[in-house]
Amino acid sequence: MTLQQSLSIGAPELVLGAGALVLLLLGVFRGNDSVKGLSWGAVILFVLTALTIVDDSPVRELAWNDLYVADALSAFLKILLLVGAVASVLMAVPWLERTNVSRFEYPVLIVLSTLGMFVMVSANNLLALYVGLELMSLSAYVLASFHRDDQKSTEAGLKYFVLGALSSGLLLYGISLIYGFVGSTDFTQIASGLSAGGERNMGALFGLVFVLAGLAFKVSAVPFHMWTPDVYEGAPTPVAAFFASAPKVAAMGLFLRVALDAFSGMVGDWRQIVIVMSILSMYLGALGAIAQTNVKRLLAYSSINNVGFMLIGLAAATADGASAVLLYLAIYLVMTLGAFLCVLMLTDVDGRPVETLDDLAGLARSRPWLATALSIFMLSLAGLPPLFGFMAKLAVFNAAVDANLWLLAVLGVLASVVAAYYYLRVVKVLFFDQPAGVVVGASGEGTLVINKGMMLLAALFCSPAGYLLLGPLLSATRAAASSLF
C-alpha cells in the first residue's frame, strides 16, 4: 500500500480535516461577524466531502497500514453523518444571530466533530476507533457548553465531559484487555484470533464487556444513558439536535462494525448483553418519557427508546439485522432532526425559546403547520403506520423474527405501545388542549426560510411519501450491511 493510495482512499477525512483548519483560520482573522459566512463555508465543505464519498467505488479497501477501512458501510454512514452535520450547521444560523453567543467556533467545532465521526466509522483498529471517538467527543463537550453564560449549558458541558471521560476510560481499559489477551488491536486480527482458540477467551470477554460499555455510553443505551436528558436539556437546541443525530449514527455504526466484524466469533457472548440493553433502553426510554414536562428531555428519552429498538437489529447478528439497523438510523436521523427543528422554532414574544410541554398547548390553533410537522415527527418516532418511522420498526422486528428472538420481538412491540403513549401525549397537547398563547408568530426572517424548508423536507420524508424512497434506501442499506459479512 503506497502513501498515495492511502491518501486517495482517505480523501473524505483529508478534505474535511484541511477544510476545518481553513475555516478555523478564516474565523480567527475575520472575527465573530463571519459566523454566517463560515457556516455556509462549512456546508460547502460538507458537500465537497460528500462528492469524494460518492465518487468511491464500493469495494472494501484498507489504508494507512490497515488502520482505516473504506467500504459500503462507511460510505453509507458518512452520507448520513453529513446530512446530520449540514442540518445542524444550517439550523443554528438564525439561532446564532438571535442570541448573543454568535461565535465563529460553532461551525468549526461541528466540522471537527464530524471528522472524528468519520474516523470512527472508518476505523479498522481499536486505536483508530479511540482517536476518532475522542475527537468527536472533545468537540462535543465544547459544543454542549457553547452558551457559556447560561448555567444550564455549562452544567451540561461539564456533565457530558465528566461522564464522557469515564466512558472513554472504560473503553480504553477494554481495549487494553483485548490487546493483552488477543494480541492485536486490528479488527481483522481480533476476529481471527478469537476464532482460532477453541475455548472461550475469558480475558477477551472482559475486554469486550468494557468496550461495549464505552460504546453503549455513546449511543446512550440503558444503563449508560443518564447523561442524555441533562445534556439535551442544557445544551443549546441546535447542539442538542446535533448530539441526537450524527453521533448516534456514528456510534451505532461503530457498534455494528465492532460487534459483527471484530467480535463476530463471540456473537453468543455479546448478544446477551445487547439484548438486555435493548430491552432496558426500550422500556426505560418509554417509561421515563411519560413523566417529562420539557420537550428536549422528552426527545432525549425518545432517543434512548429508539436506540433500544435499533439494538434489536444488532442482537439479530445477521445481515438482515445490520441492514435494519442502518435503515433505522437513516429514518431516525431525519425524524430527530425534524423534531429538534420544530423545537427550535418554538419561541415566545421576546424570541426566547419555549421548551415546556404545557406552553405548547393548543399550538395547532396558533401555528397549525408547525404543530402538524411536530406531530408527524412524534408519530413517526413512535413508529405508527402510515408514517415512515413504521418501516424502521418493521425492519428491526423482521430481523428479530428471522433470528428467532421471539421474546425480544414480543417485548419490543409491547414497548412500542408503551412509547406510543407519550408521543400521543405531545399530539394531544398540540391539538386537544386549549391554547396557552405562549408561542406566538414566527420570529426572525430571512434565514428562517432555510429552517422551514428543511422542516418541510423532513416532514415529507417521514410522511407516507417517504415509502417511495424505500427502494433506494433498502438497496443502500443491504449493500452496506453485506460489507460486514
Partner 1 sequence: MLSAMILLPLALALAVLFLPGDEQAQARMARLVGLGTTLVLFAMGLVLWAGFDSSTAAFQFTERAELFGGLFSWHLGIDGISLVLILLSVFLMPLCILAGWDSIKTRVPEYICAFLVMEALMIGVFASLDLFLFYIFFEAGLIPMYLIIGVWGGKRRIYASYKFFLYTLLGSVLMLLAMLWMVREAGTTDIPALMAHDFPVHAQTWLWLAFFASFAVKMPMWPVHTWLPDAHVEAPTAGSMILAGVLLKMGGYGFIRFSMPMFPEASVQLMWLVFALSMIAVVVTSLIALVQSDMKKLIAYSSVAHMAFVTGGLFALNTQGVEGAMVVMLSHGVVSAALFFCVGVIYDRLHTRDIDRYGGVTTNMPRYAVFFLLFTMASIALPGTSGFVGEFLALTGIFKANTWVAFVMATGVILGAAYMLWLFARVMFGAQKNADAAAMPDLSAREWSIMVPLALVALWMGVYPKPFLEPLKAPVESLMARMARANAPQTQFTPLLAKAAVAAAPAVAHETTGHSE
Indicate the residue among 213 and 324 with the shorter CB distance to partner 1: 324
Strand-pair partners of 69? 62
| Residue 472 CB, nearest approach to partner 1 (Å) | 7
Q: Applying CB under 8 A, does 379 fall inside the site for partner 1?
A: yes
Q: Is the dihedral of CA 252, 484, 54, 463 positive or negative?
A: negative
Chain position carrying cell 468519520: 118
Please work out, in degrees rounded to the nearest 5, the angle formed at the alpha carbon of residue 233 by the alpha carbons of 462 and 212.
75
Instruction: Look at residues 168, 170, 187, 177 and name the one whose alpha carbon lies nearest to residue 263.
Output: 187
Residue 445, burial from CB neighbour count under 10 angstroms (0-12, 13-18, 19+): exposed
Site string for partner 1, 335-364 (x = CB under 8 A): ------------------------------
Nearer to partner 1, 432 or 485 (CB): 432
Contact (CB, 8 A) for 430 and 363: yes
Of 52 and 398, which has the nearer Cβ to partner 1? 398
Which of 7, 33, 428, 437 lies at the binding interface for partner 1 (CB under 8 A)? 428
Grid coordinates standing for 17?
480535516
Q: Does 319 bind partner 1 (CB under 8 A)?
A: no
| 33, 200, 475, 485: residue in contact with partner 1 (rule CB under 8 A) | 475
Q: Is 206 an interacting residue with respect to partner 1 (CB under 8 A)?
A: no
Phi and psi of 243, rounded to 5°? Answer: -60, -40
Question: Taking CB under 8 A as the rule, does residue 474 contact partner 1?
Answer: yes
Nearer to partner 1, 60 or 425 (CB): 425
Considering the complex, what minimum distance in angstroms separates the CB of residue 421 from partner 1? 6
Q: Residue 15 or residue 419: which is nearer to partner 1 going by CB?
A: 419
Q: String of b and e for 349-385 (b: at least 16 CB within 10 Å)?
A: eeeebbbbbebbbbbbebbeebbbbbbbbbbbbbbbe
From the list 11-19, 80-88, 98-106, 426-434, the region that binds partner 1 by CB under 8 A is 426-434
C-beta of 65 vs 293, nearer to partner 1: 293
Single residue of 33, 195, 349, 432 touching partner 1 by CB under 8 A: 432
Site for partner 1 in 75-134 (CB under 8 A): none
Which three cell numbers mark 278?
Answer: 435493548
- Per CB under 8 A, the segment of 45-53, 170-178, 339-347, 466-474 that binds partner 1 is 466-474
Pick from 267, 431, 456, 479 the residue near partner 1 by CB under 8 A.
431
**What gap in Å lies between CA 219 and CA 240, rounded to an integer?**
14
Report, in Å, the least distance between residue 290 CB and partner 1. 12
**Taking the complex as a whole, how short is the minimal distance between the CB of residue 458 and partner 1, in angstroms?**
18
Cα distances (angstroms) measured from residue 246 to each of 251, 336, 350:
9, 10, 31
Q: List helix spans (H) across 183-294.
A: 187-196, 202-219, 227-234, 237-257, 267-290
Piece of 130-138, 164-172, 196-204, 380-388 that binds partner 1 (CB under 8 A): 380-388
Site size for partner 1 (CB under 8 A): 32
Residues from 384 through 423 that contact partner 1 (CB under 8 A): 384-386, 390-391, 394, 397-398, 401-402, 409-410, 413-414, 416-417, 420-421
Return the number of the residue (209 or 394) whose C-beta is nearest partner 1: 394
Q: Checking DSSP bridges between strand 68-70 and strand 61-63, what pairing results, if any?
A: antiparallel
- Single-letter code of the amino acid located at 369: W
Least distance between partner 1 and beta carbon 460 (Å): 12
Name the β-bridge partners of 459. none
User: Would you count residue 54 as binding partner 1 (CB under 8 A)?
Assistant: no
Q: What's the distance, CA 413 to chain centroid?
A: 23
Q: Tell me the three cell numbers of residue 61.
A: 479497501
- Sites for partner 1 among residues 279-308 (CB under 8 A): none
**For residues 91 and 447, is the Cβ–Cβ distance under 8 A?**
no
* Coil/strand/helix, residue 169: helix
Integer Cα distance of 481 and 260 in angstroms: 10
Q: Which residues partner with 186 through β-bridges?
A: 125
Q: Which residues bind partner 1 (CB under 8 A)?
A: 379, 384-386, 390-391, 394, 397-398, 401-402, 409-410, 413-414, 416-417, 420-421, 424, 427-428, 431-432, 467-468, 470-475
